[in-house]
Structure formats: structure tokens, C-alpha cells
Amino acid sequence: MNFQQLKIIRESARCNYNLTEVSNMLFTSQSGVSRHIRELEDELGVEIFIRRGKRLLGLTEPGKELLAVAERILNEAQNIRRLADVFSKEDAGVLTIATTHTQARYSLPKVIKAFRAIYPGVRLELHQGSPQEVLAMLLSGQADVAIASEKLMNDPAVAAFPYYRWHHAIVVPQGHPLTLQHPVTLQHLSEQPLITYRQGITGRSRLDEAFSRAALTADIVLSAQDSDVIKTYVELGLGVGILADKAFEAARDTGLQLINAEHLFEANTVWLGLKKSQLQRNYVWRFIELCNPGLSVNEIKEKVFTTGGEPVIDYQI
């Protein structure tokens, strides 16, 4: 048994048992992945995967138990690799943050500026993606910190901390007829061509739910992942924008006007995520604390290293 075999078990579950994706994630060949699986099953004397022909459909009961053990072993191996850095490089290294465009562009600059003032020897890397991609980067070890929506809060392998709450807002060109409506209603919006976020990101589900409850149909003529793209097409007159209120900057967006929509759509929460039971460099704890000053480093560590009420690891560093 070796680490590569355990990584294959873990990535198979994450990639929905698509061996082509598993081989790409692990930078190896598909035949090599299949060989490792066969060798591990031969060694253990049990079948790990449910199969239909050459396709993998899922994990057997022994496979599910093995996956849980593999996750713990690989996580501990990562902790060992981090151990020397924790003690020898407290104020230097790399902090990798996986987040969405809106957070990278609008909510993080002030935090990162404050962080750099405290840790000038730490390099920062920002990886942008959808909430699903952000979560995957955290779980795979590609990122130290994840910042996104409820995706993080709902994953049992992630310790999630609230960052801030936000609302959707309406953005229109200066002088648009909607600026004369007090208040703007969902009926008003349903009569306009709308430009907003694509499915799966930045609270899009909140918009869809609001229109559905009101038995109205939203005429979404353009959807995008990027708040700046939404504003660009609103400026061109293609429609009315619905975006995160945080993404509007009056000093820069001079050709646009913001309309409050807190009464139309439920509030959203941005979450900070750390992988549970994973040892971190001290500046990672401090970064979370800078994002949410209401948290202490001890509170952050306690949540990361506790599962089911019991401490998993007692790393008081």
C-alpha cells in the first residue's frame, strides 16, 4: 500500500469515479490509475469499487471505510510536510487563497493590504473560480484558505467562519425609468431584460427563488460570472443589472445608479473556509482573524481541530 493508491481512492470519489479526470488530477496515465486500483484490491482481498464493465460507479462498503481512512492518512501526511514551516517560517512563505471574482475584486483588497503590512515576507496567491471550484481547491490542498458562499458551510470537511453579509442590488444607467419607482418590485423587474450572475455563483439561487415565489418569470438576457462584466453590459444599455451591492463603487461607476433591493431578495453570507484538522502556518490563522475581527485565533483553531465535540489534534502552536 502506498500514498499514490490512497490519493487515487480519494480523487476517484471527488471526480465522480471518472478515471480520466483522476489521472489528470494526479498527473499520471489512466492505465496507471487502473493498475494501482487492481494492486490495492489484490493486496486487501476486497473490492473497493462498484463496477459496470470497465466503468466505476461508486464505492463498496469496504471502499467507503477505506476512503475515510485514506482522507485521514493523507491529511496527516500534509500536516507533517507543513510542520517544519510552522516552526521555522512563521513570518515568511506563501498564502494561497481560493475565492470568487467578487471577493477578490471588492472585499479582499483592504484585508490583504493590512495583512501585507503585518507579514511583508509572505507572498500571496489568489486563485479565482466558482464556489464549487473554490471548495475543490481547498479540499485538494491547492489553497490554504477558501472564500465563497454556503458551499463551504455545508461541507463536513471544512471549518467555515462567517466573513460578512451582503444583499443583491439593482444597477441601471443614470436616468433609467426604474429610478422613479419607489420601491422597485419584482413585477417591475420581471418587465425588464435582466443581466445577472450565472447559475451556481454569487447568490443566483436567491434571485431565482424570489421570482419563483412570486410566480413571476425573470427575463435574464445575459448571465456572467464577473460583476464588472455585468456592469459593462448595463452601461451599454442591454438591460438592468442585479449584482452584489459590494460590487458597486460610486466613484468609479459614474455612469450607473444603484437601487436598493434588500426588500426583494434574501441576504447572503460569504464564508471563510479552512480544511478541518489541518495544521496551518501562524499567518493563516491571522488572516482569518483580519477578515473577521470578531474571531480570535484560539476560536479559529478550536473549530478547525475539533470534530464531533472532540479535539482531533492538539496543535497549540
Bigger pLDDT: 311 vs 232: 232
78 pLDDT above the threshold of 90? no
Could you tell me the pLDDT band of residue 316, with boundaries at 50, 70 and 90? very low
> Could you tell me the end-to-end alpha-carbon distance of the chain, in angstroms, rounded to an integer?
32
Q: What is the pLDDT of residue 203?
A: 85
235 pLDDT above the threshold of 50? yes
Q: What is the pLDDT of residue 87?
A: 58
Residues in the chain: 317
Q: What is the pLDDT of residue 291?
A: 96
Segment 168-173 shows an average pLDDT of 97
pLDDT tens-place string over residues 204-229: 899 999 999 999 999 999 999 889 99
Cell numbers at residue 98, please? 481560493
For the chain, percent of residues with pLDDT exceeding 70: 93
Residue pointed to by grid coordinates 419584482: 186
64 pLDDT above the threshold of 70? yes
79 pLDDT above the threshold of 50? yes
Instruction: Record the pTM.
Output: 0.70
Helix segments in the chain, DSSP class H: 3-14, 19-25, 30-44, 61-88, 101-102, 109-118, 131-140, 150-153, 186-190, 204-213, 227-235, 282-291, 297-304
317 pLDDT above the threshold of 80? no
Segment 46-62 shows an average pLDDT of 90
pLDDT tens-place string over residues 281-315: 889 999 999 999 999 989 999 999 886 554 444 33
Give yes or no for a contact between 111 and 103, defined as CB atoms under 8 angstroms apart: no
Q: What is the pLDDT of residue 309?
A: 52
Bigger pLDDT: 172 vs 102: 172
Point out which residues pair with 96 in neighbouring strands.
125
Residue 184 CA from chain centroid, whole number? 32
Give yes or no for a contact between 240 and 195, defined as CB atoms under 8 angstroms apart: yes
Bigger pLDDT: 104 vs 78: 104
Could you give the CA distance from residue 6 to residue 33 in angstroms, rounded to a whole number? Answer: 11
Could you tell me the pLDDT band of residue 270, with boundaries at 50, 70 and 90? very high
Could you give the CA distance from residue 286 to residue 118 in angstroms, rounded to a whole number? Answer: 10
Q: What is the pLDDT of residue 86?
A: 59
Helix segments in 144-226, DSSP class H: 150-153, 186-190, 204-213
236 pLDDT above the threshold of 70? yes
Helix segments in 141-261, DSSP class H: 150-153, 186-190, 204-213, 227-235
Of 208, 206, 209, 109, the closest CA to residue 149 belongs to 206
Give yes or no for a contact between 162 and 292, defined as CB atoms under 8 angstroms apart: yes
Could you tell me the pLDDT band of residue 27, with boundaries at 50, 70 and 90? confident
Task: Compute the C-alpha angle 161/164/168, nearest 5°.
Answer: 130
Q: Give the HSE-up count for residue 148: Cα atoms under 13 Å, Cβ half-sphere.
A: 32
Segment 97-108 shows an average pLDDT of 93
Q: What is the pLDDT of residue 159?
A: 94
Q: What is the pLDDT of residue 314?
A: 39
Mapped onto helix, strand or coil, the DSSP state of residue 216 is coil
Segment 242-259 shows an average pLDDT of 94
Cell numbers at residue 250, please? 460610486
pLDDT tens-place string over residues 112-130: 999 999 999 999 999 999 8
Cell numbers at residue 68, please? 475515510
Could you give the CA distance from residue 139 to residue 133 in angstroms, rounded to a whole number? Answer: 10
3-state DSSP helix/strand/coil % of the chain, to nearest 5: 45, 25, 30
Q: What is the pLDDT of residue 75?
A: 80
Mean pLDDT of the chain: 89
Task: Compute the C-alpha angle 67/68/72, nearest 5°.
Answer: 110
Could you give the CA distance from residue 99 to residue 23 in angstroms, rounded to a whole number? Answer: 25
